[in-house]
Amino acid sequence: MYLQFRDEVAAALTSALDALDLPTDDLGIEDPPEGVDAVLAASAAFRLAGEVGAPPPQVAGRIADEIDAAEYDLVEAATAQGPYVNFRASDAYYEGTVEAAQSETFGRLDPTGESAVVEHTSANPTGPVHVGRARNPIVGDAVARVLDFAGYDVDRHYYVNDAGRQMAVFTWAYETFDEDDLPDPEREKADYDLVRYYRKGNEVLEDGDPDEVEAAEEEITAIMQGLEAGDEETYDRVGEVVDTVLGGMRESLGRLPAEFDEFVKETRFIRDGSVDDVVDRLQDLDEAVYEDEAWQLDLAAYDIEKNFVFLRSDGTTLYATRDLAHHEWKFQNYDRAVTVLGEDHKLQADQMRATLDLLDNDTDQLRQVIYSYVNLPEGKMSTRAGTGIDLDDLLDEAVDRAREEVEDRLDDRIRDDDLTDDDVERIAEQVGIGAVRYDIVSKQPAKAITFEWDRALDFEAQSAPYVQYVHARCCGILEEAGLDSADTDGALAGVDASVLDAEAERELLEVVARFPAVIEAAAEDLEPHVVATYTREIADTFNTFYRECPVLRDDVDDDLRDARLALVAAAKHAVGNALGVLGVAAPRSM
């Protein structure tokens, strides 16, 4: 109902300003100041004061006087308070919110008719996913979920680097070294198995015998040139390594979960001629120069100081060159293209956008989400030498810690009667991995994160377990009332919600009602962290309602009981769907 209420407020303001012969281009609709009894406020009086020649409070009063709330279904009153016009909601707003939120799909917006591709993670398939890079799949998957919930037709892509030097090194190493010369793998998993060859290869290239290194470099160059030339045997050799490592990486990413609709290999654009076409067009640009034995673009006109290198002297292209062809393919097949990148790719992102513009692409289709990295308290980490912590390690630790926390919170009676070992394991998995994911996605992407266990797994603080517990509590109330908490779609529709007039009830309804607008804003700005902020707000508001408004107590009459149960179901849907948008499990019990 919030979106409809906002539309009515906009219509009321527009009508009032038209009557006063004032411009309507900026209505200034916003959340009211804290402590104000209103759902929305308008600050247009600030903008119009100079034009009217009167102080903002006086202008706000004139606007409010022109609004007849009786003309609108959801607006109860429009009143001036200082420089603001405040809009209170009618009973129909609150009753409509209860009714709308009985749907399990509450918050999902109507289809936009637009398609979007979200490319994220795209880590080079050279070994296990490292925890320092874990923010990419978590943020990327959440962005895709937000867009999907906002009505876009979304595809999730992983762009695979299978043509660069790293994969040539990996292929050479895999074909050169015997397993007997390698340490045991850290896990029985494909990516951990093969990464040993890659690390061994880098050791040899850095510190090996000069003759051995020279021979290796010749083979590595031959592999790269074979890929560029379209040699099928070379494709097969590299593909064996790439696909095997990707298989292991996908298992790890699936635990988050982060799933993909397609793994798009860069060799695809070499083989179909797209890369050659891009190179030809780049060389024809006035900005193209040949310097330092490479073709480059001078992007000074875009305030980019470093040239964009797109072709080596030996005729081989670079990852960024192939990514240009990849982006043009996205533009041809999708209305919006979103790419999630680490902060160390900021220059590359700027060069990519500028070059795509020079190639006459509509770069308004492109949105780039830049994020900073995740650190653990001991500092930044690197995987190239086999140091640091892998994503699997982090998730295992999260589940172990969550299991301990759950066990500590269970007394013997609850443990024996209500929760089996399987239940405890399920909750530990949902809470532990949810804690990691929530802690990372809840921060603004540009801000660096130092992940801390005590904060992430704090059931009392504003963490994933805190929000998850609210969902479980809603389910518990519904189950106690004889309802199936796994299927409450419409089960409490048609109740008399007019009896929900207590302050705590109205505040919870107002927060529930805002959920679709939160999805709308998160999708517009590609900021899933605003959904996390919303989950904390609704969790706090629900807990206040829970303390002050008993649902199933004997002295609560039937009409109020049913209405409060409907409000609990509404809150469950809002919390559960918000967690789902973040990729965090919403447990029915904890």
Burial 189-211 (b: 16+ CB within 10 A, else e): bbbbbbbbbbbbbbebbeeeeee
Domain annotation covers residue 446: yes
pLDDT at 98: 96
Domain annotation covers residue 292: no
Q: How many domains does the chain have?
A: 3
pLDDT digits (tens, 9 = 90+) for 427-477: 999 999 999 999 999 999 888 888 888 888 887 777 899 999 999 999 999
Q: Tell me what the pLDDT averaged over the chain comes to.
A: 92
3-state secondary structure of 519: helix
Backbone phi, then psi, for 454, in 5-degree steps? -60, -35
Domain annotation covers residue 98: no
What's the CA gap between 541 and 7, in Å, rounded?
A: 25
Does 9 share its domain with 129? no
Domain annotation covers residue 295: no
Containing structural domain, residue 254: 120-284+316-375
Does 437 share its domain with 565? yes
Domain annotation covers residue 300: no
Beta strands 294-297; 308-312: pairing state:
antiparallel
Instruction: Judge whether 256 and 138 are in contact, CB under 8 Å.
Output: yes
Q: Which of 460, 434, 438 is nearest to 449 (CA)?
A: 438
| Residue 493 pLDDT grade (very low, low, confident, very high; cuts 50, 70, 90) | confident
* Rounded average pLDDT over 415-420: 60
What CATH number has the domain bearing residue 52? 3.30.1360.70
pLDDT digits (tens, 9 = 90+) for 477-486: 999 999 999 8
pLDDT digits (tens, 9 = 90+) for 68-107: 999 999 999 999 999 999 999 999 999 999 999 999 999 9
This model's pTM is above 0.75: yes
What's the CA gap between 549 and 565, in Å, rounded?
A: 11
> Which of the listed residues 344, 375, 406 is the one where a domain comes to its end?
375
How many contiguous H segments (helices) and E segments (strands) does the chain have?
22, 14
Domain annotation covers residue 110: no
pLDDT digits (tens, 9 = 90+) for 244-284: 999 999 999 999 999 999 999 999 999 999 999 999 999 99
pLDDT digits (tens, 9 = 90+) for 275-326: 999 999 999 999 999 999 999 999 999 999 999 999 999 888 999 999 999 9
Does 489 share its domain with 576? yes
Higher pLDDT, 27 or 412: 27
Backbone phi, then psi, for 559, in 5-degree steps? -65, -45
Share of the chain above pLDDT 70, in %: 96
